[in-house]
Amino acid sequence: MPDGARIWGVACDVNRRENDSICLLHSPLKQAVVHLVVGHSARHSAVYIVILRSGSNFMQIIGLCRFSYPAYGGFQVEHETVEERIAFLYGEQRLEERFRLMETVALPCLKAQTDQDFELIIVIGDNLPKHHFERLHDLCENIPQIRIHAEPPRKQRTVMKEILNAARRDPSQPCLQFRHDDDDAVSVDFIERLRATVSDCSGLIAKNRTVAFDFNRGYVAEVGAEGISATEIHRPYYVASMGMYIEADCHLTIMNFAHEKIHRFMPTVTITDAPMFVRTHNGYNDSRQKPVKAIPVEALTPEQEGEFSARFAMDADHIRRVFSAA
How, if at all, do strands 227-234 and 217-224 pair? antiparallel
User: In whole angstroms, what is the distance from residue 50 CA to residue 34 CA?
Assistant: 6
pLDDT computed for residue 289 by the predictor? 46
Instruction: Express each pLDDT in 24-66 by its tens digit.
Output: 333 333 344 444 444 444 444 444 444 444 456 789 999 999 9
* Phi, psi dihedral angles at 308 (to 5 degrees): -65, -40
Domain 59-324: give its CATH code: 3.90.550
Residue 55 is predicted with a pLDDT of 59
- Helix (H), strand (E), coil (C) string for 140-153: HCCCCCEEEEEECC
Residues of the chain with CATH 3.90.550: 59-324
Interhelix angle 92-101/82-89, nearest 10 degrees:
60
Q: How many CB atoms lie within 10 A of CB 156?
A: 18
pLDDT confidence of residue 74:
55
Q: Could you report the average pLDDT of every consecutive run of 10 residues in the chain (326 residues)?
A: 39 40 37 44 45 66 97 68 91 96 98 98 97 98 98 95 98 98 98 97 97 98 98 95 98 96 97 97 56 86 98 98 92
Strand order in the sheet with 298-299: 184-186, 277-280, 217-224, 227-234, 298-299
